[in-house]
């Protein structure tokens, strides 16, 4: 069984980046341990606090965030950190080569119901043209990511990662606290008629897009009808799509015109787009390719349509033809 760092070395990943990934992976081992305690630990339930997203913070959100922040500040090769749970970026090590953004616990509303949750992370080269403490460190195109990955805390814990070429899956041996290769060079399975969407938002989507989605599930010949899965945690849905194909959509909607999109560009859409594209799928906003988008606000939100190239392009066409519910 091949270890995470051995595979990354075989991928010619710089040692300093392997060390950052190892730091994140070690934190996720600890988070997996905490998650596994359930009601027997001190980790379930919510705090009184709200994060910058206006979401009630779960205890485990804070535990996971604090673990990652402390470890990355101490790690030595990370200049600046950004977290979904923190309003501003923070300096870790002045002048260090990398910057790291993460969603420490994606899908945390699933915690108290033993649902899927995960950690999502992305790594860029640091910028020398803006101050180390500035959130402008992260104002880069998605295509500038040098590493992206997630850890899914499911019945077993998996880490999926790419340093820009292949996508590999690793499974955690909790006894040893080590991730071992379980799928190397994952390849996207085209043609899987299974989609993920929160269908409760259907009537808030542009009419033409509503009709497109309804056409995917209308009673018609069984060979073309889609089935649906919605985990309520992007990591769970994207992992299933990376593993067996399908389509993930979280389009803009008219529920809150001031905040028409929900998912965050920096630490949800960018890393998932890199992984999906590296495996052979594609990933779009409603305006174009996610990796071609650039960040201009730390917690910027974006519509997301990703997965099977054929199904994504059909959605993109329906949305592009649709009256935009967002400018």
- Binding site for Mg(2+): what residues are annotated? 84, 103, 105-106, 268
* Cβ closest to ligand P6P, residue 159 vs residue 234: 234
- Token reading at 187: 């390849």
How far, in Å, CA of 2 to CA of 217, rounded?
42
Residues 249-278 that bind ligand P6P (CB under 6 A): 262-263
Q: How many CB atoms lie within 10 A of CB 3?
A: 16
Q: What residues form the annotated binding site?
A: 84, 103, 105-109, 198, 262, 268
Residues 284-313 that bind ligand P6P (CB under 6 A): none
How far, in Å, CA of 217 to CA of 54, rounded?
34
Residue 169 dihedral angles phi and psi, to the nearest 5°: -110, 135
Which positions ≥6 away from 297 have C-beta within 8 Å?
A: none
Q: What residues form the annotated binding site for substrate?
A: 106-109, 198, 262
Q: By Cβ distance, which residue is nearest to ligand P6P?
A: 234
- Give the interface segment with ligand P6P, choosing from 36-44, 92-100, 232-240, 308-316 (CB under 6 A): 232-240
Among 7, 63, 160, 234, binds ligand P6P (CB under 6 A): 234
Per DSSP (E only), the strands in 244-307 are: 247-250, 282-284, 304-307
**Burial of 12 by CB count in 10 Å (0-12 exposed, 13-18 middle, 19+ buried)?**
exposed
Bridge partners for 309 per DSSP:
none
106 binds ligand P6P (CB under 6 A): yes
* Cβ closest to ligand P6P, residue 10 vs residue 259: 259
* Cβ closest to ligand P6P, residue 234 vs residue 273: 234
* Cβ closest to ligand P6P, residue 193 vs residue 262: 262
Work out how close the CB of 223 gets to ligand P6P at its nearest, in angstroms, rounded to a whole number: 28
- Would you call 228 helix, strand, or coil by DSSP? strand
- Token reading at 209: 């897009």
Question: Which residue in this structure is represented by tokens 């998996």?
Answer: 158
Per DSSP (E only), the strands in the chain are: 46-50, 56-58, 78-83, 90-91, 98-106, 117-125, 145-153, 157-162, 167-173, 178-183, 194-196, 227-228, 247-250, 282-284, 304-307
Give the count of residues interacting with ligand P6P (CB under 6 A): 8
Among 7, 17, 24, 107, binds ligand P6P (CB under 6 A): 107
- In terms of DSSP bridges, do strands 247-250 and 194-196 run parallel, antiparallel, or are they unpaired? parallel
- Of the candidates 104, 99, 102, the one whose C-alpha atom is nearest the C-alpha of residue 80 is 99
- Whether 32 and 174 have beta carbons less than 8 Å apart is answered as yes
Work out how close the CB of 219 gets to ligand P6P at its nearest, in angstroms, rounded to a whole number: 25
- Give the interface segment with ligand P6P, choosing from 178-186, 231-239, 252-260, 280-288 (CB under 6 A): 231-239
Residues 11-50 that bind ligand P6P (CB under 6 A): none
Q: Mark 181-220 with x for binding to ligand P6P (rule: CB under 6 A) and - for no binding.
A: -----------------x----------------------
Work out how close the CB of 282 gets to ligand P6P at its nearest, in angstroms, rounded to a whole number: 18
* Cβ closest to ligand P6P, residue 56 vs residue 91: 56
Chain residues in the site for ligand P6P (CB under 6 A):
106-107, 198, 232-234, 262-263
């Amino acid at each position: 069984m091949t270890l995470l760092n051995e595979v990354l070395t075989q991928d010619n990943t710089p040692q300093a980046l392997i060390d950052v990934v190892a730091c994140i992976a070690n934190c996720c081992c600890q988070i997996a341990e905490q998650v596994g305690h359930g009601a027997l630990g001190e980790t379930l339930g919510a705090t009184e606090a709200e994060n910058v997203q206006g979401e009630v913070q779960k205890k485990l959100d804070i535990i996971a965030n604090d673990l990652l922040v402390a470890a990355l500040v101490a790690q030595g090769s990370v200049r600046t950190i950004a977290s979904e749970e923190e309003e501003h970026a923070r300096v870790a090590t002045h002048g260090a080569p990398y910057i790291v953004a993460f969603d420490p616990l994606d899908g945390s509303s699933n915690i108290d119901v033993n649902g899927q949750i995960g950690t999502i992370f992305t790594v860029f080269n640091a910028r020398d043209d803006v101050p180390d403490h500035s959130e402008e460190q992260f104002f880069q195109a998605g295509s500038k990511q040098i590493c992206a990955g997630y850890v899914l805390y499911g019945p077993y814990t998996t880490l999926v990662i790419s340093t820009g070429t292949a996508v590999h899956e690793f499974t955690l041996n909790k006894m040893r606290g080590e991730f071992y290769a379980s799928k190397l060079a994952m390849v996207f399975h085209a043609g899987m008629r299974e989609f993920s969407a929160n269908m409760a938002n259907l009537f808030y989507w542009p009419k033409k897009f509503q009709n497109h989605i309804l056409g995917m599930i209308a009673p018609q010949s069984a060979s073309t009808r889609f089935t649906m899965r919605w985990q309520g945690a992007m990591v769970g849905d994207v992992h299933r799509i990376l593993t067996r194909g399908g389509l993930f959509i979280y389009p803009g909607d008219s529920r809150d015109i001031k905040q028409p999109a929900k998912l965050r560009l920096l630490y949800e859409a960018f890393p998932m787009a890199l992984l999906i594209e590296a495996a052979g799928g594609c990933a779009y906003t409603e305006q174009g390719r996610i990796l071609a988008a650039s960040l201009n606000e730390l917690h910027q939100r974006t519509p997301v349509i990703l997965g099977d190239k054929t199904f994504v392009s059909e959605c993109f066409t329906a949305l592009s033809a649709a009256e935009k519910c967002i400018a």
